[in-house]
Chains A and B, each alone.
Chain A
Amino acid sequence: MTLIYQRNVDGPVTHAFVVGCGRYPNLGVAGSANRNAPIAGALAMAELLMAKREKLVAPLGSIELLLSDPASTESTTDIGQRLTGTIATQIETADETHFRDSGEKWLNRIRPGDVIVFYFSGHGITDRVGDAVGLLSDVGTSRNRPWAQTFSLTKLALALRTMSAESAWVFFDACQEVVAEFADRLWDVKNIELKELTLRDITGSGCEPLALAAAATGRVAWAPDEDEPPFFTQILLKGLSGCCVERTREHGWAVTGVTLLYDLAEVGRSIIDGIAVQPQSLAPHSERKVLLAVDHPFTPVTVRSNPEMHMKLAAAVRLMCGSDIISSGKVSNFVWRADIAFAERELTVYCETRQGAPMLAPQTFRQQLPAHNITLIPVRERA
């Protein structure tokens, strides 16, 4: 196991299990299935949890981290100084043995009233009954049990429901591709179960986990080629940082299950270009549970133009509230972006154009959570 953070706190705490799996030696050809993004995603998620450890409604109690880094063939991954404040820097691999081991220790730590967080980034598929399945790094190692090194999200979410936790949060940043070979074998696939369940367990009362997948059943989740988190994780981190929030009487502005469920897609439309990220809920009901409090909510504002080439020719964008400049900056690559502190107010986007370039008409909008997508059009058309 790799316990990178632990502290004893009186009262309920948050226990997190973060898994980033980017190395798949037995999938594809010559490392073609390897990805850097899951490592960046898992580290970014762990970093956010540690940075917000006092803002979580149940302060951070522990983080279990597993990483399978394609850049390393060692038995552990050295994260060095990439995360500050950790009690370990050598992280064990995201394989079957360590997943079982860390998962069991994670579940054993949970006490009634605690908060549970699970994050996985890596390859994923859909099983015969349409459930999301996460693949660990040693999948395919065993000739006779090639799919044993996998876990079912549905079973995991059902298990978390029975832990008497205050709330449970499951984030699955992986594809849900249909792989015929796996589906055909499912009758005999006995993959990882962190907890065995009975009918009594699932029909009893329990918290309904917020379980979000990066893609719908049968669909692909995307990640950038660079050393950055996958797109769903980027959106999730942005939402958790302060734009997927609502007012609560106990915590003021706070990230809740409802805001993550309904607002993440809109955040994605604002901050990701060219790829539509459509998170899918894996649970039937949402709850207004609170994950963390936010002092300063904000809205990502994205400004584009139609035709988009006009924005490329623009010099700068100014965001004004009356006569006050809220934000301004140069346009890069057809788009202008800024995170704007949230307030109930009207904002106007002005675009300064270069000499000879088409003028873009200003646009006024009322600031609203979670995000804004503004498209400016040429002055002549608007008239």
Chain B
Amino acid sequence: MSSRVTLATNSKGAFRVEVAGTRPDDVTRLMLTGQGDEHEIELPAGPYTANVTNIGTGSRHSFDFQVGETEYLLSIGGDRSRGANWRSVSKKEGAPKGWKETGIKEAASGDGQAPYLPMLQTQTSSGWRPFSGTVMINDDLPNALKVVRCKTWSATPLLRVEFTANDGSRAHSFVPLFSGGTLVRWHGDGRRLIELEPCELKSSAIVGSLTNSIREELPQILQWAAGSDKADAVQLIMNARDDPWIAVATGLLLVGSSRLKQNASSLSRLAARNYWIADLGVLAAWGWAVDMPDDEAGCLDLLRRARERGVVYFWQTCSIADRLLTVLATNSRSTAVRASGREEHGLWKRLRADTFKVGAFLGLPASTRGAR
């Protein structure tokens, strides 16, 4: 005797669900993507455990259920709210002096304690200055702030956040200004670990996939994000909403699932337009290698230009650059490319020295050449 069980999401996001029965091979794995997505499975009567992983955040929970004679509807998702109760720090309350000068807001919260806020700085022609854009806080999320980009942004909107690394040293990461806002999170009083993620849940699932998904899931996540598995649709999300950082995350997922070929030209255009994001340059170099594998010098040139002109946001970008440079530096048919490749590989290595992972992003020592 078996019954039909329907699993349905009640929030926007991507969820990995594993339903396990009592036998070792009695396991069903599936993915639910987007609000209202449903999946039906037939299960024999008995006890089951459902393990749910939010791909966007990596958070997990599990629950037990019993299958009997009737049909069941299991609701999946919705592990935290992030949409309501945001209020601007700088405009509604007025930024105190300390905010502009040190980046730490001294305004009293409801319980009389001054909340910690990490230092945000933006690059100007005269160097790094405190960020003057919109920063929002939320009493429901005490260890987070939301950074919202201006409607009209500068040509190279570089923003970085300074924080304390695990070893106690000062560090920073470049903050992507996602469409819909970027959440900057830290953990409790330690203030040591920072997470960066898009506020918008679909974008969060795309970025979260870079750290929380397994390779087999990438095509389905891409299909959901784009609304179709056609190359045109994927290009659309890369170009949509003027959000080059989501384009990078999508490109990295395409590399991971070996599907970059159809989107290589689109990435090249994006890289040329957003030269200050080195990640796009590296993806363009990978696309170049896919399209024109015999033009090793062209690939190397794209990698060099990416490093010289842009900053690296995503952790995975470095490993992609590393793979290309490993081959160029050791196996190129051209002696000149091998020599230049070795030099470029060394420069990338220097750029990566003492870096560490901050979720899907790259953390750099505070001393790393100021901005780049």
Q: Enumerate chain A interface residues (CB-CB to B < 8 A).
A: 128-131, 152, 154-155, 158, 187, 193, 196-206, 208, 247-253, 258, 284-288, 297, 344
Contacts and interface: CB of A to CB of B under 8 A. Distances in A.
Given A198-B331, A286-B215, A130 B326 contact: no
Given A130-B349, A199-B296, A199-B299, A285 B331 contact: no
Nearest to B327: A197
A197 B258 CA distance: 17
Contact of A284 (B260, B319, B327, B331): B319
B330 A199 contact: no
B309 interface: no
29 contacts: A129-B325, A129-B326, A129-B345, A152-B326, A154-B323, A154-B326, A158-B327, A187-B346, A193-B331, A198-B327, A199-B289, A202-B289, A202-B327, A203-B260, A204-B258, A205-B258, A206-B258, A208-B215, A247-B24, A248-B25, A249-B28, A251-B25, A252-B24, A258-B214, A285-B215, A285-B218, A285-B256, A287-B215, A297-B24
A220 to B, nearest CB: 17
Interface residues of B, number: 42
Given A155-B330, A247-B27, A199 B324 contact: yes
A248 B260 CA distance: 30
A284 B293 contact: no
A132 to B, nearest CB: 12
Interface centre among A155, A193, A297 (most CB of B within 10 A): A155
A288 B327 contact: no
B27 A248 contact: yes
Task: Tell me which of B24, B218, B322, B328 has the highest count of chain A C-beta atoms within 10 A of its own C-beta.
Answer: B24
Contact of A287 (B18, B214, B290, B299): B214
A147 to B, nearest CB: 14
Contacts of A248: 25, 27
Contact of B349 (A128, A203, A205, A247): A128
Interface of B: 18, 20, 22-28, 49, 213-216, 218, 256, 258, 260, 286, 289-290, 293, 296, 299, 316, 319-320, 322-328, 330-331, 342, 345-346, 348-349, 352
Given A203-B289, A247-B24, A187 B215 contact: no
A243 B213 CA distance: 22
Given A202-B327, A249-B27, A284-B319, 20 more contacts: A129-B325, A129-B346, A129-B348, A130-B349, A158-B326, A198-B327, A200-B293, A203-B260, A204-B258, A205-B258, A206-B258, A247-B24, A247-B27, A249-B25, A249-B28, A284-B320, A285-B214, A286-B214, A287-B214, A287-B216
Contacts of A288: 214, 216
A246 to B, nearest CB: 8
A180 to B, nearest CB: 14
A281 to B, nearest CB: 11
Given A250-B25, A284-B316, A199 B215 contact: no
Nearest to A193: B330
Contacts of A202: 289, 323-324, 327
A196 B23 CA distance: 46
Contacts of A129: 322, 325-326, 345-346, 348-349
Given A130-B352, A199-B293, A247 B26 contact: yes
A69 to B, nearest CB: 32
Report which residue of B289, B290, B323 has the largest number of chain A beta carbons within 10 angstroms of its beta carbon.
B323
A53 B349 CA distance: 41
A154 B323 CA distance: 8
Contacts of A199: 289, 293, 296, 299, 324, 327-328
Contacts, number: 94
A47 B76 CA distance: 45
Nearest to B291: A203
Contacts of B290: 203
Contacts of B20: 247
A284 B299 CA distance: 21
A265 to B, nearest CB: 15
Nearest to B352: A130
A-B pairs, top 7 by smallest CB distance, nearest first, are A252-B24, A205-B258, A200-B293, A247-B27, A199-B289, A199-B293, A252-B25
Contacts of B214: 258, 285-288
A206 to B, nearest CB: 8
B130 to A, nearest CB: 34
Nearest to A293: B24
B286 A253 contact: no
A311 B300 CA distance: 61
Contacts of A252: 23-25
A284 to B, nearest CB: 5
A202 B327 CA distance: 8
A252 to B, nearest CB: 4
B35 to A, nearest CB: 26
Contacts of A154: 322-323, 326
Nearest to B47: A344
A297 B24 CA distance: 10
A159 to B, nearest CB: 10
Contacts of A251: 25
A267 to B, nearest CB: 19
Most chain A CB within 10 A, of B27, B256, B325, is at: B27
B160 to A, nearest CB: 23
A131 B218 CA distance: 26
Contacts of A204: 258
Nearest to B325: A129
A130 B325 CA distance: 13
A196, A206, A284, A287 pick with most chain B CB within 10 angstroms: A284
A128 to B, nearest CB: 6
A111 to B, nearest CB: 21
A201 B331 CA distance: 11
B213 to A, nearest CB: 8
Contacts of A187: 342, 346
Contacts of A297: 24
Given A128-B346, A284-B316, A197 B215 contact: no
A50 B15 CA distance: 39
Nearest to B316: A284
B20 to A, nearest CB: 6
A234 B313 CA distance: 37
B326 A155 contact: yes
B267 to A, nearest CB: 13
Contacts of B22: 344
Contacts of B28: 249
Nearest to B22: A344
Nearest to B342: A187
A253 B26 CA distance: 10
Contacts of A253: 24
